[in-house]
Amino acid sequence: MRAAVLREYGEPLDVTGVAEPDPEPHGVVVDVEACGICRSDWHAWQGHGEWADDRVPTDFVLGHEPAGTVVAVGDRVRSVTEGDRVAVPFNLGCGACSECLSGHGNTCLDGRALGFERAAPGAFAERVHLPYADYNAMRLPEGVAARDVAALGCRFMTAYHALEHRAVVGAGEWVAVHGCGGVGLSAVHVADALGARVIAVDVDDGALERASAAGADETVNGREMVVPDAIEAITGRGAHVSLDALGRAETCRNSVDCLRERGTHVQVGLTTDAEKGEVSLPTDAMTRWEVDFLGSRGMPPTRYDELLGLLEAGDLDPGVLVGREVGLDEVPERLAAMTTYDTEGVEVLTF
Ligand SMILES: [Zn+2]
Ligand SMILES: [Zn+2]
């Protein structure tokens, strides 16, 4: 089969023939119909994460937002059969540890990250292996297109889990979203769908326009305003919930600083090579005002149904974010285009 292979960090992916995946006893093979192209792929391709010993391997296939049809099934798989159309979450649970069994497969003690580690090659390929399929394969509702699910990708599931399951946003609450790239825009859209009043923060007017179209009630350009002051002026006392989609020291601090008393910060963006995983926080003020600081990663595979239900009901329409569908041969160039932010909305590989 053909796949786009990472040979050297930052060098164009090599579109070439590779071995077909065989299903492990607990796994299935999915014929990929569509796979979102994500900034996480770009970070992986660039070789970021060396400081955390978290670089992807080389001679490796990236791609972690696939949907498609099951074409081969391992001996021990019970609930997935050939011909099933499925979505594949990037945070794959083992299905057997205490985290997975208690509904927290995204923090699985023995999980695999699709398209980021040797044990789970990715989906910039004609076919992809899905391990522990009984736990991780999410059957698609009738009429839901693979392309839309791929656009849902990691960005919507991550935003949804952060706001609905972690921060538990209530209708009418003020939600600030710092950074309006893929996951930030998704957070704006999800917060709006949850009935919140949404403030989008970015330094780029184009990104803020897209945020307004996605459901933001107010926008703040961080290049022109002191962000916490601007949010206090809009809300009166600060946001109820604030989400940092970027992971920069400044956006994380702004997110905490813009909260009202007993507000909730939720961290979604991972830090950059500048922060190396550490950000200074106003802990005394957080104690005084009982501010919560939550981490959030992906979404438990067992809660995918909620998101697919919203899609089926028409409450979420990730398809409108798709700016371009590309073939496998174009993936190396489209990944490179992310270096200069020269991309059109969400770009999706389709076969
Ligand atoms: Zn597990
Ligand atoms: Zn992604």
What pLDDT, in 10s, does the model give residues 207-247? 999 999 999 999 999 999 999 999 999 999 999 999 999 99
Distance CA 160, CA 7 (A): 34
Instruction: Give 158's pLDDT tier (boundaries 50, 70, 90).
Output: very high
> Residue 95's closest CA among 83, 80, 81?
80
* Residue 273, pLDDT score: 83
Q: Mean pLDDT, to the nearest integer, of 279-308? A: 95
CA of 131, nearest ligand number = 1
Q: Mean pLDDT, to the nearest integer, of 156-163? A: 96
CA of 36, nearest ligand number = 2
Query: What is the 64 CA–ligand 1 centroid distance (Å)?
Result: 19
* Residue 343, pLDDT score: 81
Query: What is the 158 CA–ligand 2 centroid distance (Å)?
Result: 9
Query: What is the 87 CA–ligand 2 centroid distance (Å)?
Result: 13
Residues with CB under 5 A from ligand 2 (ion): 38, 40, 153-154
Query: What is the 254 CA–ligand 1 centroid distance (Å)?
Result: 34
Whether 344 has a pLDDT exceeding 80, the answer reads no
pTM for the model stands at: 0.93
Average pLDDT of the residues of the chain: 94
> Residue 239's closest CA among 216, 215, 261, 214?
261
Query: What is the 120 CA–ligand 2 centroid distance (Å)?
Result: 15
Instruction: Give 272's pLDDT tier (boundaries 50, 70, 90).
Output: confident
Instruction: Give 322's pLDDT tier (boundaries 50, 70, 90).
Output: confident
* Residue 311, pLDDT score: 83
What does the block give as tokens for 75?
Answer: 């001996």
* Residue 188, pLDDT score: 95
Whether 152 has a pLDDT exceeding 90, the answer reads no
The strand order across the sheet containing 174-178 reads: 218-221, 197-202, 174-178, 239-244, 259-267, 292-295
